[in-house]
Structure 1
Amino acid sequence: MRCSPTLLALVFAGISAPALAQQATLDRIKERGSIAVAYRESSIPFSYLGGDGQPVGFGWEICGRIVEQVKKATGRTDLKTTTQAVTSQNRIPLLQNGTIDIECGSTTNNSERAKQVAFATNYFYTGTRFLVRSESPVKSVADLKGKKVVSTTGTTNFQVLRKLNAEQNIGFELLTAKDHAESALLVQQQRADAFGMDDILLYGLRASAANPAELAVVGEAIQVEPYAIMLRRDDPAFKKLVDDTLAGLMKSGEFETLYKKWFQSPIPPRGINLNAPMSKELQDNLKALSDKPAL
C-alpha cells in the first residue's frame, strides 16, 4: 500500500497509523473486555464512596444501567467494570486520553467543556450557593465582603465566583481546595467563611458531616446549570447508547424512582435524607430529553 507523505511523516515521528483516527468507544470496550467507569469520591449523592469504601450514588447507579446496555451492544456478557476515582482537575484529561470511558458524577454541561468532551442528556439541574457554619452572619452574596470564600479547583463554580467578585466588586478573598470534602473542611475549621458550590452537593456534604446542624446552605442560586454524564467527543454511537439508556429510564419512571431513592430517602453511609425535591428544570427535561449546555 502506498503511504501518503503526511502519513509517513507521522509514522517516522513515532505516531502509529491507528492513532490517526480515534477508535470507537464500543469497539475498544469489546476488544479489551472491560469498561472504565469514573466516579467522584465526595459528590454526594451523585457519586461518592459508601461505608464499604466502594462507589455509590445516583449517577453511579445510572452508569450501572448503561454498562448493562453496553454488554448487550458489544455481545460481551462477561464484560468487566473497572473503576477510576477522578477529580475536577483530571476528569477531562483522563477521558480524552482513554483512561476512562465514561464519567458519572456531578459535571456541569457547558459550552466551553463541549469543545473538549461530549455530554449525554442532562440528568440534573443545580445552582451555586454557599455552605457556612450555622452561626455565620453570611446569608447572601452581599455578606461576603471581606470574607474568605473557598471553591473547588477545576469547577465552573470557581469561575462563576471569580467573575462575580470582579464584576460586582464584592471584595472577598477566593481560595481553592483540591476537592469538595477539603473545601467543606475549611469552613468547618473556620479557615474559610463560605464554600461556594452547587447547592445539591452542599446539601450532601452537610448531611454527611459529623454534626449537620453546625452547617447551613444559604443564599439565592447565582445561576442554574445542568449536570450530565461525560463522554468522549465525536463518538455518536456511544452517545446514542447512553442517551437511549437515559431516555428509557426517564420514560419508564425508573429515573424518578432512582431520584426518590437518592434525593428524598435515607442514603448511605449515615442514613440521612437530603429532602431535595426535583426541580422544575429537571421535571421538564424528563420530557424534553435535552443535552443543551449552560452558556
Structure 2
Amino acid sequence: MFKKWTKGIALCCTAALLGTLAVGCGGSAPTGGEKKAAENQTQTSGDYIQTIKNRGYLIAGVKNDVPLFGQLKSGADKPEGFEVDIMKELAKKLFGDESKVKLEKVESQTRIPMLQNGQIDIVAGTTTITEERKKQIDFSDVYFKAGQSLLVKKGSPIKSVTDLKGKTVSTVRGSTSAKNIREKAPDAKVDEYATYTEAFQALKLGRSDAMTTDNSILMGFANEDPNFELVGGLFTEEPYGFGFQKGHPEWVNYVNDFLKELKANGKYDELYKKWFKEDPPK
C-alpha cells in the first residue's frame, strides 16, 4: 500500500514538473501583454525572413487613402494601387503566392510606430527617406522618386508657393509635406489632417486654398476630379523607400535584391505603366 502511495506521489510531481517546463518553454500560449511581448521578441531576434516564412504570410503596411498607390475604394474589401501590387509581388517571391500578404492600413503618423512595435514587417506607404527617419527605421533602396507640389481648383490665382501668403494650405499630419511647406511659405496658414482624403476634402469644400504633398499623390486626386490641377512645379525631392524595423539587415537586403529583380525582369515597368499610364523615368 505504501509503495503504491509513494508511486502515485512521484507521478504527480513528475507531471507537475513537466507542466512547469512546458509553460516555461512556451508550451502554453501566452495571453495579453505576454503574448505581445513574445511576438515582439520573435521579431527582434534571429533571421527575420525565416520568421515571416514560418508565419506563412507577409504583413505589409499600405495606405488606404492615396489614389494610385494604396486606396480602399467604396465597396471594395481590399486596397489597390502601385505599392499594393509591389507587396503582392514580394509575397510571391517569399511564398510563390501573391495572396500570402496581409495588407494592414497605415497612415502617415502611424506607419513608423507600427514598424517599431512589430505590427508590420514592411511599410509601403509613400514614405520619403529622410535622415531623421533613418534614426527610427531602416529603408530600402529608392523605388519611386516624387517631389512636393500644390493642388488647387482650376482658375485659382495660386500658381506657385510664392502665392501662398495669407492663404490656407491643407496637408497630412506626420508627413514631410507639413514641415516643407512651412519653410517654403512661412506666411501661409497650414492645416494638418489625419488622412489625404480629409486634406483633399478641405480643399474641395473651400476650407483651404491649396493642398500640398508629393506630386504623385496629388496626381491621383486630380485624376479623380478634373476640377483640380497641379501647379507650382516641384519644390522638393521626395525619394520613397520601403521601411523596416531596425535590426534586420538580412531582410532589408532581401527586399533590395527583390527590387533589382523586379526592374530587371520588366515587372516594375509593367506595374508603373498600369498605374501611372506612362513609362517610369530612367
TM-score range, shorter chain: 0.7 to 0.9
Deviation at 1:260, TM superposition (A): 0.8
The letter of the residue matching 1:29 is: I
Q: 1:42 maps to what in 2?
A: 65
Structure 1 position 85 matched with structure 2 position 85: no
> Does the aligned pair in 2 maintain the 1:33–1:79 contact within 8 Å?
no
Structure 1 position 129 matched with structure 2 position 152: no
Cα distance in 2, alignment partners of residues 133 and 79 from structure 1: 39
Q: In the alignment, which of 185, 208, 216 is matched to residue 200 of structure 1?
A: 216
Identity across the alignment (%): 31
Alignment of 1:268-283 (within 5 A): 278-279=280-281, 283=282
- Segments of structure 2 that go 5 or more residues without pairing to the other structure are 1-33
TM-score of the aligned structures, taking structure 2 as reference length: 0.80
Q: 2:95 maps to what in 1?
A: 71
Q: In the alignment, which of 197, 202, 208 is matched to residue 186 of structure 1?
A: 202
Q: 2:84 maps to what in 1?
A: 60
> Does the aligned pair in 2 maintain the 1:65–1:245 contact within 8 Å?
no
Q: In the alignment, which of 112, 131, 150 is matched to residue 111 of structure 1?
A: 131
Structure with bigger gyration radius: 2
Query: Match of 1:159, SS?
Result: helix
Q: Which one is further off, 41-50 or 132-141?
A: 41-50
Structure 1 position 143 matched with structure 2 position 143: no
Deviation at 1:30, TM superposition (A): 2.9
Q: Which one is further off, 19-28 or 190-199?
A: 19-28
Deviation at 1:145, TM superposition (A): 0.9
Q: 1:84 to 1:184 in 2, by over 3 A?
A: same
Q: 2:261 maps to what in 1?
A: 248
Deviation at 1:27, TM superposition (A): 3.0
TM-score of the aligned structures, taking structure 1 as reference length: 0.77
Deviation at 1:33, TM superposition (A): 2.6
Q: 2:251 maps to what in 1?
A: 238
Cα distance in 2, alignment partners of residues 172 and 21 from structure 1: 43
Deviation at 1:248, TM superposition (A): 0.6
Which protein, 1 or 2, shows the higher relative CO under an 8 Å CA cutoff with sep ≥ 6? Answer: 1
Structure 1 position 260 matched with structure 2 position 262: no
Q: 2:3 maps to what in 1?
A: none
Alignment RMSD:
2.3
> Does the aligned pair in 1 maintain the 2:68–2:275 contact within 8 Å?
yes
Cα distance in 2, alignment partners of residues 156 and 137 from structure 1: 25
Q: 1:194 to 1:87 in 2, by over 3 A?
A: same
The letter of the residue matching 1:278 is: P
Query: Match of 2:148, SS?
Result: strand
Q: 2:183 maps to what in 1?
A: 163
Q: 2:189 maps to what in 1?
A: 173
Query: Match of 1:95, SS?
Result: helix
Query: Match of 1:149, SS?
Result: strand
Query: Match of 1:226, SS?
Result: strand
> Does the aligned pair in 1 maintain the 2:148–2:215 contact within 8 Å?
yes
CA displacement, residues 222-270 of structure 1 (integer Å, 9 cap, x when unaligned) = 1112011112222121112111111011112221111111100xxxxxx
Cα distance in 2, alignment partners of residues 79 and 97 from structure 1: 24
Alignment of 1:205-244 (within 5 A): 205-208=221-224, 212-244=225-257
Deviation at 1:34, TM superposition (A): 2.8
The letter of the residue matching 2:232 is: G
